[in-house]
């Protein structure tokens, strides 16, 4: 019950706040604008889930996880060098949804060039660049998990930065 109320409150705020509050600021320039900061009020409340411990990760080998719930498959990756959105002592641990944001096919990780590849319609996402779509049909870059690592090396996910395929709210 409590959870549902939160969802509704968020949705109302979302309608007031607009889809992406900063999009209009792009007028008159061709510089990409970024929206993170100003749409915070519209976010759903995410659970803080423990996904793994750093000790469970081997460099460049994806570890299957699920977040924000067991029906949303994802992976954790330790990349060996600091990257966008990376956490942990080396700033190199990232987590992504592995449902292609085009039509929801399962992405396959290619460890040679550290990309996620979609057998559905050939889209590709860069694991080292925040899930940026290298080429493809999705209109989102790959949803990335917001991660935190505690003193014990436990890795928690606490948010997602894009809408996950197959759900109209990231938390169901």
Partner 1 sequence: MTYKRQVDRLPIIPADATVHNSVCHYCIVGCGYKTYTWPMNKQGGTAPDENIFGVDLSQQQPQDSNAWYAPSMYNVVRQNGQDVHMVIKPDQDCVVNSGLASVRGARMAENHPSDVTGTQGHRLTDPLVWRYGTYNPTSWDDALDLVARVTARIVVENGEDDLVVSMFDHGGSGGGYENTWGTGKLYFESMKIKNVRIHNRPAYNSEVHATRDMGVSELNNAYEDAQLADTLVAWGCNPLECQTNYFLNHWIPNLQGMSSSRKAELIPDEDHPRARIIFIDPRRTVSINAAEQAAGADNVLHLPINSGTDLALANAIFTYVADQGWVDTDFIESHTKAEAEPRPALFPARGETDAEPGHLTSFQDALDANRMSIEEAAQLCGVPAEDIVTAAEWIAMPKENGARRRTMIGYEKGVIWNNDNYRTNGAIVNISLATGNIGRLGGGCVRMGGHQEGYVRPSAAHVGRPATYVDQLLISGNGGVHHVWDCNQYRTTLNATEFKRIYNRRTNMVKEAMDAAAGATREEQVEAIVNAIRQGGLFTVDVDIIHNEMGQRAHVVLPGAQTGEMNLTSMNGERRMRLAERYMDPPGRSRPDCLIAAGIAQHMERVLREMGEDDYADQFTGYDWETEEDAFMDGYHRNAHNGELVTYDRLRALGTNGFQEPAQRLEGETIVGTPRLYADGNFSSEDGRARFMAGPWRGLATPGKEEERARYPFLINNGRSNLNWQNWYLDQENDFVTDRWPYPFIEMHPDDMEARGLGAGDLVEVHNDNGATQAMVYPTETARPGETFMLFGAPRGVQGNIVGSGTNELIIPVYKQTWADIRKISDRPSVADGISFKSKEFRF
Query: Looking at 47-55, 57-65, 87-95, 157-165, which segment touches partner 1 (CB under 8 A)?
Result: 157-165
Site for ligand FES in 127-166 (CB under 6 A): 136-137
Residue 2: exposed, middle, or buried by beta-carbon count in 10 A (0-12, 13-18, 19+)? exposed
What residue has token string 């750093």? 54
Q: How far is the CB of 72 from partner 1 (least distance, A)?
A: 7
Measured torsion, CA atoms of residues 32, 12, 70, 65, in degrees rounded to the nearest 10: 20
* Contact call for residue 121 and ligand FES (CB under 6 A): yes
Q: Other CB atoms closer than 10 Å to residue 157's CB: what's the count?
A: 24
Among 11, 56, 80, 150, the residue binding partner 1 under the rule CB under 8 A is: 11
* Contact call for residue 147 and partner 1 (CB under 8 A): no
Rounded CA-CA distance 57/75 in Å is 11
* Contact call for residue 139 and partner 1 (CB under 8 A): yes
Q: How far is the CB of 136 from ligand FES (least distance, A)?
A: 6
């Amino acid at each position: 019950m409590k959870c549902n109320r939160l969802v509704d409150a968020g949705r109302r705020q979302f309608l007031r706040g607009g889809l992406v509050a900063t999009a209009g600021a792009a007028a008159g320039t061709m510089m990409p604008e970024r929206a993170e900061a100003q749409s915070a009020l519209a976010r759903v409340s995410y659970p803080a889930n423990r996904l793994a411990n750093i000790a469970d990760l081997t460099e460049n080998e994806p570890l299957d996880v699920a977040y924000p719930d067991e029906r949303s498959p994802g992976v954790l990756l330790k990349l060996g060098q600091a990257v966008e959105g990376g956490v942990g002592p080396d700033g190199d641990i990232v987590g992504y949804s592995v449902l292609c944001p085009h039509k929801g096919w399962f992405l396959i990780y290619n460890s040679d060039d550290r990309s996620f590849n979609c057998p559905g319609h050939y889209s590709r996402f860069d694991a080292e660049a925040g899930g940026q779509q290298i080429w493809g049909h999705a209109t989102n870059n790959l949803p990335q998990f917001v991660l935190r690592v505690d003193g014990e090396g436990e890795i928690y996910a606490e948010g997602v930065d894009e809408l996950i395929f197959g759900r109209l709210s990231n938390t169901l």
